[in-house]
Structure 1
Amino acid sequence: MNNAGERVRRCFGLAWRTAAKVGKEDPRRVVHSLKVGLALTLVSLLYLIKPLFEGIGQNAMSAVLTVVVVMEFTVGATLGKGLNRGLGTLLAGSLAFLVEYVADIPGRIFQAVFIGSAVFILGAVTTYVRFIPHIKKNYDYGVMIFLLTFNLITVSSYRVDNVWAIAKDRIATIAIGGGLCLVMSLLIFPNWSGQELHNSTISKLEGLANSIQACVVRYFNDSETQDDESDDLIYKGYKAVLDSKSKDETLILQGCEIKQALQASWEPRWSRYWHRIPWRQYKTVGITLLHFSYTVVALHGCLLSEIQTPGSIRALYKDSCIRLAEEVSKALRELANSIRNKRQFSPQALSDNINEALQHLNDDLKSQPQLFLGSKNFGAATNAEEDTRVSFSSVKSDCSSMFESKSKELSYALPFAAFTSMLVEMVAKLDRVIDAVDDLAKLSHFGEFRDEDEIE
């Protein structure tokens, strides 16, 4: 009993710490939970208050279900789901009444056959339509509600005489539930999808900048020493970008930016947030950041390689590599500040600084070519062989030792070559990120960049 009680206490303690952590990460989650609870309480009055229950009847449960499935964390998501549910219900109700009107003319036998055929055809066609990418991305929930409502009304019409009353009550309760969700989302501590996407893009840019700096500093300080704190900083920097692909299983394209951009487009343009910003351009920025993050992952992999270049060799290029990484990180932070402050930046200034650091690294690599091309001892030994008479076995032994020495040099040089090539590839990918953010700044009419503005 003592052991069981201890396990129960540990489980409760773990649950409490997890709940507290979720709330501390984003206090808006607590507010949203309270909003949903309040909305469910208000919509339950349709059941609890007798006059309301007598006016709407058993279909009051549709209002409760509407609140549960429609009310999302952000305004855009709630609007999108609410409009999809409303339009799907209206279209399904109209079509169901048309089917019932046609089937009711000849008689009961034809009515049953006609309803069965209509259910089969509409079910098959509607399900197939849901596979279309554009429908899947934008209207999947509305199509599903259309199919559900159509079947409920059409099949019920065969046994229920006053099916119009059922449909009318269902539409009314859905409208009540949807309207309550919109009021709660828009007027009580609203969370805007556009703001969510805006802040998410900024945090991804800054996270990648931190990850690159930490990765390069650790590589040149001591890559063999495991540091959990630096590992967490490196990992968290690109994890946020890579995880955005799988935040919602309903996405079939590139990343959650598409869903957030779509939700932001649903939000009213007269809101005080981002009324001029083309949200779909954020999708382009998100995709370029996703491709850029792959090079950061590869750079992190160089730290975990089984074969490491000696510290004495890495020290020769430490300053130039750290400088290039710092310039790339500065550029990412400048892009983040541009989006945060809604002002344009100077792509030319960023490119000039990065190209200068890249040229410095190139000069350092050229100053020590023997580290990558191998030594000339093998050629000198071959010349010495021509001048000295030695046995074939001694020449073979000398050649074997030379090849072993050269292979050892290359085994140390190749990991560092991979590391520097990832830095150069990172610069190439960064150009696309700069172009995407520059397009976003121009399309969003950010404040003009002035020559006296300093790059932080």
Structure 2
Amino acid sequence: MGNKHGSLENMERERLIPSSLEQTYGVHEDDGEVKACGCFCLGSIRKKFKGLWSNLRAVVVNSWEVGRSDPRKVVFSAKLGLALALISFLIFWKEPLPDISEHSVWAILTVVVVFEFSIGATFSKGLNRGLGTLSAGGLALAMADIFTVGSLATFAKLYPTLKAYEYGFRVFTLTYCYIMASGYRTNEFMGTAVDRFLLIALGAGVGLLVNVGIYPIWAGEDLHNLVVKNFFNVANSLEGIINQYLNCVEYKRIPSKILNYQAYDDRLYTGYRSAVESTSQEDTLMGFAIWEPPHGRYKMYKYPWRNFVKVSGALRHCSFMVMALHGCILSEIQAPADRRRVFQDELQRVSTAGAKVLRELGNKVKKMEKLGSLNILDEVLKAAEDLQTKVDRKSYLLVDANSWEIGKPPIEFQDIQDISKTDDNDPFKYHGYHSFSEARLDLGTSRSPETTNLPFAATNGFHKSLTREFSFKPERMVIQDEGDTYKSASVLSLVTFTSLLIEFVARLGNLVVAFEELSETAKFKAPVAEGKVEEEEVCGFWGRFWRFVKPRDRNENLLA
């Protein structure tokens, strides 16, 4: 009895002590005694250090990859460090202006806040910070009402047309409150306002000088490259989707990220998604680009950056059709492979011609070159017209011809309102041949409740045909099952795919119009004649310096 009682206690103890606790603290049972091996053993410490080392190595590798993918980020980090080092010398400036050294932290903070990745963002924040400080200092000398000034500045910041100056209003409120608080304590309102403005101006000047003078990064150029990249991405997606559709390649399992429209590593998906999702990035870059002075290839004052965004919007309008085409591949109902092969050549031609138009426009935007004298849409429009003609000729393949119902309504239902009252399941209808394709398939053999024959006059030189007699019997009506319904829907999916592709071609016209407007407004150069080698345009000091010091080709030396 005692042994049984002891075994029950041991079982209860094992149930109460978790296995994870035994592994961590080394709790085990030996002849009824519980022993602890310590909180941390050498193996667990070694395992934790190994995990930390793996995480550290992963961070280093990822940082190296980020630097390799975009070296500008490394240059920007070095530029910010240089600007901070230069402005920090104010700390040692004791004479002749001791207040500058005392309040040098404002200059350092200005460099940190103003120094942005692109030149346009730096100009925007620098100007907003300077105007906010200057206006706040002047207003602090005129009136002392923190509640009124703070409320009005916050309300103005929320005004839609002043959204671009939101940072300036924030600096204005901060500076005004700082001057009022420090001036009340020292009774030196003027000195505080002047010192703060001078230090902010000095910090902004150092930041602008370093950012513009050393490997400048322009937001306008980033916007230009982004628009060009979207052209090629949409073209690649279009060709890939058409090829996958014609080859009847289907997803075994549709990724949930694609269904939820999240980022996913799929070539067809990421191509058009990058164009659709670039709206906010384009607006941000455009907001910074309008602050940038003329530079490089963009020598025009008030460069039409909004037209770049307009062209990208027209491209996005086309990419919606590409997204819908991809949705046909992802859908549950798929068209039969034999029906796809009927229109394979025409679909392939439209896809190739459409992608060619997108790539041609992308190259024109990249080179900042106008279109030639030839119509860029001729080939794709001809391909789309041939596809439409093929659809018209083979229309009997795109519907379930067995369910066609062509008939004249009874005399009592000649009015349209009366026709709408008829029942679709009413078998008392007249039927006949609807098209030549139906006649060839002998699908017009309809049933009539009357025993008399109804003449049908065929057009286009065909002979007259008569519907056959049929005595109506309700039990001979066939109810369409689910298989027939699925078959009809699968065939109609090919109609949807073809219609979306033709709609994509129609939207290309709006894209070409937007590009022509951009080329005229931005004064793109004339197209280069075929066979003529275009010289690479070198812009900026660093571009000319690299062209001077780079090793020349042997053939160039011989020609020189």
**Do they fold alike, i.e. is TM over 0.5?**
yes
**Given the alignment of the two structures, is residue 419 of structure 1 paired with residue 522 of structure 2, yes or no?**
no
Q: How many residues get paired?
A: 421
1:62 offset after TM fit, Å?
A: 0.9
For residue 344 of structure 2, give the secondary structure of its aligned residue in structure 1. helix
The equivalent of 1:262 in structure 2 is 287
Q: List aligned pairs for 1:46-445, cutoff 5 A.
A: 46-47=90-91, 54-99=98-143, 115=144, 118-136=145-163, 138-225=164-251, 232-245=266-279, 255-269=280-294, 271-276=295-300, 277-346=303-372, 349-376=375-402, 382-383=446-447, 387=469, 392-393=474-475, 395-396=476-477, 399-401=478-480, 406-445=484-523
Tell me if the contact between 1:211 and 1:233 (Cα under 8 Å) persists in the aligned partners: yes
- Is the CA contact 2:251–2:330 (under 8 Å) kept in the aligned structure 1? no
CA distance in 1 between counterparts of 2:515 and 2:504 reads 16
Are 1:194 and 1:273, in contact at CA under 8 Å, matched by a contact in 2? no
Q: 1:165 to 1:377 in 2, by over 3 A?
A: closer
Between 1:419-428 and 1:380-389, the stretch displaced more is 380-389
Distance in 1 between residues matched to 2:386 and 2:192, nearest whole Å: 77
Q: Distance in 2 between matches of 1:17 and 1:258?
A: 32
> Residues 24, 64 of structure 1: CA spacing in aligned structure 2 closer, same or farther, 3 A cutoff?
same
Distance 1:8 1:52, change over 3 A: farther
- SS of structure 2 residue aligned to 1:266: coil
Q: Which structure's CA Rg is the greater one?
A: 2
Deviations 1:368-388 (A, max 9, x none): 211223224775564499756
CA-to-aligned-CA distance 1:304-328 (integer Å, 9 cap, x gap): 1111112111111122112111111
Distance 1:287 1:377, change over 3 A: closer
In structure 1, runs of 5+ residues without a counterpart are 100-114, 246-254
CA-atom RMSD in angstroms:
2.7
Deviations 1:46-104 (A, max 9, x none): 225655993513321111111111111111111111111111111111111112xxxxx
Q: What residue is the counterpart of 1:249 in the other structure?
A: none
How far is 1:187 from its partner?
A: 0.7
Q: For residue 212 of structure 1, report the CA deviation from its aligned partner.
A: 0.9
1:356–1:451 Cα change, 3 Å: farther
TM-score for the superposition, normalised by structure 2: 0.70
Alpha-carbon separation, structure 2, partners of 1:204 and 1:236: 11
Judge conservation of contact 1:371–1:409 (CA < 8 Å) in 2: no
Normalised TM-score (structure 1): 0.85
Secondary structure of residue in 2 paired with 1:223: coil
| Other structure's SS at 1:373 match | coil
Distance across 1 between alignment mates of 2:531 and 2:321 = 30
Distance in 1 separating the partners of 2:329 and 2:361: 27
- Does 1:10 pair with 2:54? yes
More helix as a share of residues: 1
Shifted more, 19-28 versus 180-189: the winner is 19-28
> Is contact 1:70-1:78 (8 Å) kept?
yes
User: Any idea what SS the aligned residue of 1:309 has?
Assistant: coil
Instruction: Provide closer, same or farther for how the CA distance between residues 52 and 223 of structure 1 changes in structure 2, counting only shifts above 3 A.
Output: farther
CA distance in 1, matches of 2:508, 2:276: 17
- Gaps in structure 2 of 5+ consecutive residues: 1-44, 256-263, 405-442, 450-467, 533-560
Aligned 8 A contact 1:208 1:237 in 2: yes
1:18 deviates by: 2.4
In structure 2, the CA distance between the partners of 1:418 and 1:290, relative to structure 1 (3 Å rule), is same
SS at match of 1:446: coil
Identity, % of aligned pairs?
33
In 2 relative to 1, CA 243–19 (structure 1 residues): closer, same or farther, beyond 3 Å? farther
Distance across 2 between alignment mates of 1:326 and 1:333: 11
Q: Give the structure, 1 or 2, with the largest relative contact order (CA under 8 Å, sep 6 or more).
A: 1
